[in-house]
């Protein structure tokens, strides 16, 4: 976007003077915490600080000097960001000050690199032993890097962070990812099949599942620091016109479409075959009623509507792949970061609000079969059957007059032992699986999608996920290890919980999905 804060926040002369006096950019570190990761250069005073995904000292510097010192430069890729606009900047000052700073920084970096090369050549001439030692150290470093490099990032193709965050989350849900990875190449079947959907008439001869399979395999190989999901994104463009272009999209909408599309494609490409052994991971479900998507993410809700006039009760069962939760209104006016002693919103508050009895508004009057007319009524949701992976979407965006605004309330969520038994149907005669107990109703967190920023059509998406026993932060191409405390402090947008006692149908037996 074009920023209107550049003239007062970009001081090319001051920054250039500071650059002349500082060390080589390769040796820069945050002025506060001394880290050398995610460094940003203030274009008003030349101070180097770390970004918001490390310790946020660059943003703290702006807060101290507000409204000045809001424009900074990414020392890695020279991108410009404005903290007031909360967006990356594409324009320059009338005098071209940003380009001058970039050029000066590149000159200093090139000069430092040349000096480093000369020093290295001099050391090589002086001692063959030191050369041998240096080469050995490099070889050892490459070997160590290969051993450590087991987590690949996803390159941002232009505001595609919404897709990257969802893909990284799904790739770390072992049962789902393991099944998709083990699928044989579907290209031959794809040429003979055609998808029929009501929502989209374009792209019916294109299949997302094959490109997703290739992407997940590449992510788990870990042979590269970052891979490009360009092929998958181009298929998404073909099958979903609204995702075309490089505008920021909603991660939850993308996730829902992706899962729905995968379910439809798998039912088309891999129909049930009774002649194949029942525990094969390559066959669909009996009678074509389910796929790996519904077997893992699918649950059932029961809605109960009661007429307030005659007491007539109506029940309906609805399948779901995720549950969207409102943030209770009593918490939406709170400050984003609660102070000491202030009541904090818990995930259980959102779940309780979802299952509470509510009276339908006048615009939603219920057509009572007994009264033969529309009457005032109440509605309540129960969870009739829990899924193996419980996906919870927190409604952080609401319409306010003409704009969608973000609810930035912090919500506490458990990393382990989410108990769902309180929100299930408890009448034994209603369903055989209604009263889940123990590990059947307990869930542990596997991944979180986070939205950073203030608007629905802007900001940035990242994700946290458990990978081989440890928590990692996936920020497009960057993958960094983090602790549980960091995860617990994030402002979650989508939560993926995995049931401790996973129950899969025969065609998705653990033996086949984990091999």
For residue 415 the two structure tokens come to 């990393």
**Nearest-CA neighbor of 360 among 423, 308, 424?**
308
- Cβ atoms of residues 207 and 186 within 8 Å: yes
Q: Residue 123 in 3-state DSSP?
A: helix
Neighbours of 464 (CB within 10 A): 27
Q: Quick check: is 61 catalytic?
A: no
- 297: nearest Cα among 385, 200, 209: 385
Would you give the DSSP letter of residue 339?
P
**Residue of 460, 467, 473, 490 marked active site:** 460
For helices 161-171 and 208-221, angle between their N-to-C axes, nearest 10 degrees: 70
Distance CA 460, CA 251 (A): 10
- How far apart CA 275 and CA 211 sit, in angstroms, is 28
Residue written as token pair 């072992």: 174
The 3 state secondary structure assigned to 455-500 is ECCCCEEEEEEEECCEEEEEECCEEEEECHHHHHHCCEEEEEEEEC
> What dihedral angle (degrees, nearest 10) is formed by the CA atoms of 408, 164, 41, 141?
130
Q: How many other CB atoms are found less than 10 A from the CB of residue 287?
A: 8
Per-residue tokens: 23:
């060390």
Please tell me which residue in 161, 307, 345, 391 is annotated as part of the active site: 161
Q: Does the active-site annotation cover 490?
A: no
**CA angle centred on 230, ends 228 and 231, rounded to 5°:** 120
CB count within 10 Å of CB 420 equals 20
Catalytic residues, by residue number, are: 161, 460
């Amino acid at each position: 976007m074009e920023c209107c804060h550049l003239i007062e926040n970009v001081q090319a002369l001051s920054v250039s003077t500071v650059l002349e006096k500082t060390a080589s950019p390769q040796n820069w570190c945050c002025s506060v915490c001394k880290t050398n990761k995610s460094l940003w250069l203030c274009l008003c005073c030349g101070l180097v600080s770390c970004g918001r995904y490390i310790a946020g000292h660059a943003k703290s510097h702006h807060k101290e000097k507000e409204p000045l010192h809001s424009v900074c430069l990414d020392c890695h890729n020279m991108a410009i960001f404005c903290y007031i606009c909360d967006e990356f900047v594409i324009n320059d000052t009338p005098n071209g000050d940003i380009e001058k700073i970039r050029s000066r920084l590149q000159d200093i970096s090139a000069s430092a690199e040349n000096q480093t090369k000369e020093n290295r050549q001099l050391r090589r001439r002086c001692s063959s032993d030191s050369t041998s030692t240096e080469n050995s150290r490099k070889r050892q470093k490459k070997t160590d890097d290969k051993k450590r490099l087991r987590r690949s990032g996803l390159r941002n193709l232009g505001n595609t962070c919404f897709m990257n965050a969802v893909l990284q989350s799904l790739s770390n849900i072992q049962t789902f990812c393991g099944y998709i990875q083990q699928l044989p190449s579907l290209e031959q079947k794809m040429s003979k099949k055609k998808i029929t959907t009501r929502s989209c008439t374009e792209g019916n001869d294109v299949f997302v599942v094959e490109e997703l399979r290739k992407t997940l395999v590449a992510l788990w190989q870990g042979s590269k620091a970052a891979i490009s999901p360009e092929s998958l994104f181009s298929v998404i463009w073909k099958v979903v016109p609204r995702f075309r272009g490089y505008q920021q999209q909603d991660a939850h909408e993308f996730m829902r479409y992706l899962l729905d599309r995968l379910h439809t494609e798998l039912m088309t490409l891999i129909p049930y075959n009774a002649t194949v052994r029942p525990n094969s991971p390559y066959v669909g479900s009996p009678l074509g009623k389910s796929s790996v998507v519904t077997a893992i993410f699918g649950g059932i809700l029961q809605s109960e509507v009661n007429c307030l006039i005659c007491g007539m009760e109506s029940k309906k069962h609805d399948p779901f792949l995720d549950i969207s939760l409102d943030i209770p209104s009593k918490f939406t006016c709170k400050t984003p970061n609660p102070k000491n002693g202030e009541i904090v919103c818990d995930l259980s508050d959102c779940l309780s609000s979802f299952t509470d009895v509510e009276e339908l508004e006048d615009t939603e009057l219920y057509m009572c079969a007994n009264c033969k007319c529309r009457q005032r009524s109440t509605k309540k949701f129960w969870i009739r059957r829990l899924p193996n992976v419980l996906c919870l979407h927190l409604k952080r965006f609401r319409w306010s007059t003409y704009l969608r605004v973000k609810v930035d309330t912090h919500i506490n969520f458990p990393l382990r032992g989410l108990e769902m038994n309180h929100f299930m149907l408890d009448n034994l005669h209603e369903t055989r699986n209604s009263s889940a107990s123990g590990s059947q109703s307990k869930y542990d967190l596997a991944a979180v999608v986070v939205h950073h920023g203030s608007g629905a059509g802007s900001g940035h998406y990242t994700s946290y996920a458990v990978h081989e026993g440890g928590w990692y932060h996936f920020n497009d191409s960057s993958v960094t290890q983090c602790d549980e405390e960091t995860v617990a402090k994030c402002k979650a947008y989508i939560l993926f919980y995995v049931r401790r006692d996973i129950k899969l149908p025969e065609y998705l037996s653990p033996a086949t999905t984990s091999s």
